Amino acid sequence: MRPHSIRSTKADCPVLDAIPIRLLPSRMDVNQRIAQFETMVRPGADPDNDMAWFSLGRAYAEAGRHAEAASAFLRCTELNPAMSKAFQLAGESFIAVGELSRAAEVLKAGYVSAHGRGDRMPMTAMGELLKKIGEDIPAVAASAGSAASGQAGGSFVCTRTGRAGTKLAKPPFKGPLGAWIFEHIAAETWDAWVKQGTKVINELRLDLSREEDSDTYDRHMREFLGVDDDLYASLTGTKP
C-alpha cells in the first residue's frame, strides 16, 4: 500500500525500502512538465495514455493555456470515460476561455457519468459549475449505490462516493491526511485508489525517489479521494 508521501512516510512503507536515499532534484517548472507530457503522448510514443493526457491538461491549465488544457482533458475522457475529474477540469477550462456552451455540454455529460459511478465529489463540483454559468443540472435517478447508502443506517458512509462501505482498519499512513482518510474514506474506495495509484506510477513512468514524481503521485491521490487544496491546507497547515 503506497503512502501519500515518500518524503514523510518512506520508513513506514516496505515497498519503498529499495529506493536509494539521495538528494532530491529541484522540481520541474511547468514548461518542463508540459514538454515531458507532450513527448509522452505524441504519435509513435504513447498517445493512448489517459493519465498522461490528464497530467498534460493539468500542466497546460497551470500555465494559463486553457484552450489546450480543455483539449487534453477531453482526450483523457475519450480514452477513459471513468475519469470524472477530467470532465470537471475540461469544463473549468472551457469556462476560462469563455466557451460556455462547450463547458455546459462537457459538464452535463460528466455529471451524468459521475453519478452513475458514485463519484460524488466531482459530480457536486460539476453541478456547481453548471449553476455558475446559468445551466440546469441534469436530472438523474437515484442509483442503486445511493439507495443502499441511504438504507444502511448506522453503517460507515464514504465521503467520496456517498455510499455505504467498510471502514478502514487503521489510517493508511501517518499524519493528518492519513487520519482524515481513515475517518472519511471507505476501505473499498481506498482499495480502488491503490489500483489507480499503480496505474498512475506505471503509465506516467514515475520514479518515486524524485520529488516532482512523488508530488505528481500525491496530487493524483488527493484528486481521486476528493481532497482539494483548501482541505489539504486546513489539515496540514501547508499548501500542496
pLDDT in tens, 10-33: 334 433 333 332 333 344 688 988
Residue 1 is assigned to a structural domain of this protein: no
Lowest mean pLDDT among 44-48, 81-85, 117-121, 211-215: 117-121
Give the confidence band of 233 by pLDDT, cuts at 50, 70, 90: very high
154 located within any domain = yes
Q: Residue range 142-160: average pLDDT?
A: 56
Query: Does 136 map to a domain?
Result: yes
* CATH (domain of 172): 1.25.40.10
Residue 19 CA, distance from chain mean position: 25
Query: Does residue 175 lie in a domain region?
Result: yes
Per-residue burial over 73-99, b = 16 or more CB atoms within 10 Å of its CB, e = otherwise: bbbbbebbbebbbbbbbbbbbbbbeeb
Say if residue 7's pLDDT is above 70.
no
Q: Give the number of domains in the chain.
A: 1
The per-residue pLDDT for 127 is 96
- Which structural domain, as residue segments, surrounds residue 43? 6-18+27-236
Query: Is residue 199 one of the residues assigned to a domain?
Result: yes
Residues 121-144, mean pLDDT to the nearest whole number:
88
Per-residue pLDDT tens digits for 43-65: 998 999 998 999 899 999 999 99
